[in-house]
Structures are given as structure tokens and as C-alpha cells.
Chain A
Amino acid sequence: EAQVTQNPRYLITVTGKKLTVTCSQNMNHEYMSWYRQDPGLGLRQIYYSMNVEVTDKGDVPEGYKVSRKEKRNFPLILESPSPNQTSLYFCASSPRTDPGELFFGEGSRLTVL
């Protein structure tokens, strides 16, 4: 089944404890992206990648890191999480580098205490 898989789906952590949210797609898509969804703010892009080893900032990259060492994986790293990073995170992929349809994962709900 074609899908975008995120882990963990739910996580509660404390300020300053490094964490990684993994994202993997099995559709051989070129483009991958991370969004955060907050009430009243919609979906805001954090980082995106058009190919292996090619990443670029979205609109809200502060406090996040990403890497794209393999085509299928695009982990989101929070080096020192803070409470304002409490959010619902979505990974998405697209077969095109000028993305048409985005295929989203089911989301990862992160709480930073």
C-alpha cells in the first residue's frame, strides 16, 4: 500500500530533550516536506526537500533540523524542544519537485512540557 509513515504518532517530552520524528514514504517520491498544524494558523511549512541531500527552509524553520540521506526518509529533528513547538506535525511527499498533489502521513502529535 502506498503510504507516508510517521513515527511516533504521539509523544510527550520535556523541554530540552532532543527528539526525532521519522518519516518514510514507499512511493519513490522526489519531494518531501514537513508541516506543523496549529489551531487558527493552518498548515505551515517547516522544511522541504526536492531530492537526496537537497533541503530548504519553509516558513517556520527555527528550532528544527532535517536531513535527506535516502530518498524514502526525511526525519525531523528537534535538538532542544521548547513548549512553543507543541503541535501536530505532518510529513508529506509528492512525485514532482514542483509539487502537485501532496500525500500526507497521519500526523505526529507532540507535546513539550
Chain B
Amino acid sequence: QQQVKQSPQSLIVQKGGISIINCAYENTAFDYFPWYQQFPGKGPALLIAIRPDVSEKKEGRFTISFNKSAKQFSLHIMDSQPGDSATYFCAARSRSKIIFGKGTRLHILP
């Protein structure tokens, strides 16, 4: 119930393409869904986040799509760039705990 399932584990996308990472959850008490980006040797940093009363949120090239009935949410990176190569984590919050997915290693080919 506390899990957040993330897929795929790794992803290779051509420069300029769309990167899509998917997450699913079971716990309906989750009330906040952030995505974090992590570069090698660094700690994760918040990229974008959404609340369950919103179906989509866009910030620049990054968009979260949220499907409350299906308990799924996804990150779309438009016009993917080599600088987007990183590990991405979806997460969900329940009260004082933030639960992370297992991560997706994204590689953008130049």
C-alpha cells in the first residue's frame, strides 16, 4: 500500500524526442506527488510536483500527467536534451512521509 511503482528502470531517447516515465500507486491517502532529478554525485532535487486535484501541470519542457481514478501519474520531457540525462524519481507523500519510486535512469543520445 505504501509503494510507488516506477517504470521503466532505464530509458534511452534521441535528442529532441519525448521521454516518458510512469508511476503507479495504491494508497489513496497520498496527497502530493513530486518528481526529483538526480545527477551523478549529487543529491536529488525537486523538478516538478502535482496535487491529486489537478490532472496536468506543465513547467517548461516538463509535464506531469495525473490520473486519479487509475492511480497513475507520469512525467513527460518534451524536446529531450543531453543535459536531461539523469536519474528521475517519482514520489508520493502521506502525512509526514515521502515514498520514492525505484528510479529511472534516462540517457539522451546527442
A106 contacts B102, CB within 8 Å? no
**Out of A45, A50, A90, A97, which one reaches B98, CB within 8 Å?**
A45
Q: How far is the CA of A105 from the CA of B46 in the complex (A)?
A: 13
Assess whether A48 is in contact with B97, with CB atoms less than 8 Å apart.
yes
Give the interface of B toward A (CB within 8 A): 2, 6, 9, 32, 34, 36, 41-46, 49, 89, 93, 95-103
A42, A48, A98, A100 — most chain B CB neighbours (10 Å): A42
Judged by a CB distance under 8 angstroms, whether A99 is at the interface is: yes
Instruction: From the candidates A48, A90, A104, name the one contacting B96 in the complex (CB within 8 A).
Output: A48
A58 touches B43 (CB 8 A): no
Q: Is A31's CB under 8 angstroms from B103's CB?
A: no
Chain B facing A: main interface SS: strand
Q: Taking each of A4, A41, A44, A104, which has the highest tally of chain B beta carbons within 10 Å of its own beta carbon?
A: A104
CA distance A97 to B99 in the complex (A): 15
In the complex, A101 has a CB within 8 A of chain B:
yes
Q: A59-B2, A106-B42 are in contact. Are A98 and B93 (CB under 8 A)?
A: yes
Which residues of chain A come closer than 8 Å to B101, judged between CB atoms? 42
**Residues of A at under 8 Å CB distance from B?**
4, 31, 33, 35, 40-45, 48, 50, 56, 58-59, 90, 92, 97-102, 104-107
Instruction: List, in ascending order, chain B residues with CB within 8 A of A33's CB.
Output: 98
Residues of B within 8 A of A50 (CB): 96
Q: Are B89 and A104 in contact (CB under 8 A)?
A: no
Chain B nearest CB from A20 CB (Å) reads 19
Which of A56, A90, A101 sits near B49, CB closer than 8 Å? Answer: A101
CA distance A100 to B34 in the complex (A): 8
Beyond contacts A45-B99, A104-B43, A104-B45: 4 other A-B pairs, Cβ-Cβ < 8 A, are A40-B102, A48-B97, A98-B96, A99-B93
> Is B89 in contact with A107, judged by CB distance below 8 angstroms?
no
Residue of B nearest to A92 (CB): B43
